Amino acid sequence: MFDIYLASSNKHKALEIEEFLRGIARILIHEKYTSPPETGESFRENAIIKAKTLSHIIPEELVLGEDSGLVVPFLGGAPGVSSHRFSSSGDDEENIKLLIEKMRDAHDEDRKAYFVSYGVLMKGGKILWEGEGRVYGCIDYHQQGEQGFGYDPIFYYPPFKKTFAQLSREEKNRVSHRGAMLRQLRKFLEKQKEL
């Protein structure tokens, strides 16, 4: 069983990650961690920035940095690495409103989008594992559903004919970007005796 410190103060994220790694790793939050400015130009860079910040505080421990966001090719890749602060307030509802507004002239074929989750496992500032998960869907014309967070109410997932906010947590976990990333991490950890 590994103890992995998550470079985040988001308890929801920690719980979600712990569910995927159950039986193989415990996910812990470190009280001294404060989010660094996410100045990277890619999800990978930001995941590394987060992991390095925490690894600096606890160099002898395993740490996991994760960065995620929504990519809309019609908008040149926006909101991308700025997903959580797309609108000036950074509020989920405002971010969604701004995205709907920017997609006003987008036809069905322009509405393709995907979520990305990038994970970096580190110890002593050294990367031990890294991986990316994605899920493809499209930007809906209006919000639907009450579950989830962030852009879930306007991320339509064709195989289920529902938005992510209309899925149960279990359904979303089965197909989500974070799930895809964490399943790879789980496989890696299962092959390790010690780290």
Catalytic site positions: 67
CB of 154 to ligand IMP, least distance (A): 9
What length does the chain have? 195
Containing 90, the helix (H) or strand (E) segment is none
Q: How many CB atoms lie within 10 A of CB 5?
A: 22
Interface residue with ligand IMP, options 83, 111, 120, 139 (CB under 6 A): 83
- Residue from the set 14, 27, 63, 70 that interacts with ligand IMP by CB under 6 A: 70
Within 99-138, the residues that bind ligand IMP by CB under 6 A are 115
Please count the residues of this chain forming the interface with ligand IMP, following the rule CB under 6 A: 14
Backbone angles phi, psi at 176, to 5 degrees: -75, 160
Task: Choose one: 68-76, 103-111, 119-127, 136-144; the region binding ligand IMP (CB under 6 A).
Answer: 68-76
Pairing relation of β-strands 112-123 and 155-157? unpaired
Report the relative pairing of strands 2-6 and 25-29 from DSSP bridges.
Answer: parallel
Residue 68 or residue 166: which is nearer to ligand IMP going by CB?
68
* Stretch near ligand IMP under the rule CB under 6 A, chosen from 54-62, 66-74, 98-106, 137-145: 66-74
Within 143-172, the residues that bind ligand IMP by CB under 6 A are: 148-152, 164
List the one residue out of 131, 1, 129, 2 whose CA is nearest residue 61: 2
CB 71 within 8 A of CB 43: no
Please choose, from the candidates 71, 182, 165, the residue with its C-alpha nearest in 3D space to the C-alpha of residue 116.
71
**Cβ nearer to ligand IMP, comparing 51 with 195:** 51
Closest CB to ligand IMP among residues 94, 195: 94
Contact 155, 166 (CB under 8 A): no
Going by DSSP bridges, is the β-strand pair 62-71/162-163 parallel, antiparallel, or unpaired? unpaired
Of the residues 25, 48, 62, 67, which one makes contact with ligand IMP according to CB under 6 A: 67
Q: 101: which 2 tokens?
A: 């507004």
CB of 116 to ligand IMP, least distance (A): 8
Minimal distance, residue 79 CB to ligand IMP, in Å: 7
Which residues are at the interface with ligand IMP (CB under 6 A)?
Answer: 67-70, 83-84, 115, 148-152, 164, 176
